[in-house]
Amino acid sequence: MTRFVLGRIGFSTLVAVLLAFFTLPLLWLVTAPFTSNPTYEVTVPDFTWDNFAAVVEHPYALPSLWNSVVLSAGTAALVVAFAALAAYALSRVRLPGRDALLYALLLLSSIITGTAAMVPLFQLAVELNLIDSQFGLILILTGGLLPAAIFMLKDFVDATPQSYEESARVFGASPLQIVRHVVVPLVRPGLATIAVWAVANVWGNFLMPYLLLSDVRKQPAAVITYTLYTEGGQANLSMLSTFGLLYSIPVVLMYLFVSKKYGFRFHGGIKR
């Protein structure tokens, strides 16, 4: 009994500390948008809506959020679909050089996110006529994310038992049907994780969209965020904080949706 009580107390303390740690830096994001002339100081706001009005009037701010949704949803969809197929095949069939290839790709994927890769990627996009195309940008971003996605998903597929697949096969299901109706439900938490991860990666990506999309009406919110500065490079804190708050709402909604619909509620589908 004492052990139980101590455990409860320990748990509550730990959770309280965690909540404090993760909440504290976010305070500014909650107060500054409602403050007129905000500074770096967290103060009790005077609850003005002027900052929101300014963001709504901004010609590119709200449309850019939609572009972010398009880019991240498109990339996440491609990453999940292609990674799922590849991870399943790589998990179930021994293709020659499989593991070495995966590791090599994973290592190369880290170089592509670096600053030094922008010239090759840009020139490649020029040659392939992918400049100023959201679809082209989605393809490029997908290519960079796929190795890590396959890598992660393969773990999930590896961990699922094959007995269901065998039974499905006995009933004459094709491999694709098996993937769709048997494997996908089993690895759903993994797919949800990959999807959220892909969205997070694209959501904050500035450099590639900026370089590859020249039409400002196609650019995502990450690029627009960087424009909320003055001539001398001083931050426009009222716009930045307000836009930042709006910028974070879609991903919070997405998280709530994913976690409710697919994510962490599932217990792998394995028989208890």
Partner 1 sequence: MAQAISPPEAPKETRTGRYSSDAAGLGKARAGVFVAPALLLVAAFLVFPALWVLYLGLTNYRLTGAAAAEPEFVGLGNLLGAVADPAFWNSTWLTVQFVLGSAVIGQVGLGFTIAWLLRDRRGPLKRLVEGLVILAWILPGAIVSFLWVALLDRDGGTLNALLGLPGFAWLLDHPMLSIIVFNTWRGTAFSMMLYGAALSNVPPSHLESARLAGASSWQQLRDVVFPHIRGHILTNLLLISLWTFNDFTPFLLTAGGPDGKSEVLAVHVYKVALQSGELGHGAAVSTIILLINLVVAVFYLRLLRSRR
Partner 2 sequence: MALRKRVVAVAVAAGLGLTACGGQSSGGGGDAIELTITQNAIAGGKNAAAAKFVADWVIPTFEAAQKAKGKNVTVTFIPSGVDDEQYKTKLSLDLKSGKGADVIDIDGIWAGEFAEAGYLKPLSEVVGPEADAWDGWAQIPEAVQGMAEFDGKKYALPVGTDGRVLYFNKSLFAKAGLPADWQPKSWQEILDAGAKLKSAGVPVPIQINAGTAMGEATAMQGVLPLLAGAGGEVHRDGKWTGASQPLKDALGLYQKIYGGGLGDPRLQQEAKGRDKSFQQFAQGKIGILMEGDYFWRGVVNPKTGVAKMADRDQAVGYALIPAIEPGKGIRGQDFVSMSGGALRTVNPGSKHPKEAFELLAFTLSPEALKEETKDGNVRVTPRSDVNKEILAGEPLLTFISEKVLPLTAYRPPVAVYPQVSVALQEATAAVAGGTPPDQAAADYQKKLEGIVGGAGNIAS
Q: Enumerate residues 135-154 that contact partner 1 by CB under 8 A.
A: 139-140, 142-144, 146-148, 150-152
Contact 201, 143 (CB under 8 A): no
Distance CA 248, CA 204 (A): 10
Beta bridge partners of 229: 235
Query: In this structure, which amino acid lies at residue 90?
Result: L
234 binds, among partner 2, partner 1, none (CB under 5 to 8 A by kind): partner 2
Exactly one of 42, 139, 168, 251 binds partner 2 (CB under 8 A); that residue is 139
- Both ends of the chain: CA-CA distance in Å? 28
Distance CA 190, CA 60 (A): 35
Question: Shortest gap between Cβ of 114 and partner 2 (angstroms)?
Answer: 14
Distance CA 121, CA 119 (A): 5
Dig out the tokens for 7 from the structure. 């455990």
| Binding residues with partner 2: total (CB under 8 A) | 48
165 binds, among partner 1, partner 2, none (CB under 5 to 8 A by kind): partner 1
Dig out the tokens for 133 from the structure. 């195309």
65 binds, among partner 2, partner 1, none (CB under 5 to 8 A by kind): none
- Tell which residue, 145, 160, 154, has the closest CA to residue 94: 154
Query: In this structure, which amino acid lies at residue 268?
Result: G
Question: Shortest gap between Cβ of 133 and partner 1 (angstroms)?
Answer: 13
106 binds, among partner 1, partner 2, none (CB under 5 to 8 A by kind): partner 1
Distance CA 129, CA 143 (A): 17
Check residue 166 for interaction with partner 1 (CB under 8 A): yes
Exactly one of 23, 43, 162, 174 binds partner 2 (CB under 8 A); that residue is 174
Exactly one of 47, 100, 231, 232 binds partner 1 (CB under 8 A); that residue is 100
Distance CA 90, CA 93 (A): 6
Check residue 90 for interaction with partner 1 (CB under 8 A): yes
Give strand ranges (E) for 190-271.
Answer: none
Nearer to partner 2, 222 or 254 (CB): 222
Distance CA 221, CA 63 (A): 8
198 binds, among partner 1, partner 2, none (CB under 5 to 8 A by kind): none
Exactly one of 3, 22, 129, 163 binds partner 2 (CB under 8 A); that residue is 129
Question: Shortest gap between Cβ of 187 and partner 1 (angstroms)?
Answer: 9
Look at residue 206 and give its three-state secondary structure.
coil
Residues found near partner 2 in the complex (CB under 8 A): 39-40, 57-61, 81, 85, 118-119, 122-123, 126, 128-133, 135-136, 139, 174, 176-177, 179-180, 207, 210-211, 214-216, 223-224, 226-236, 239
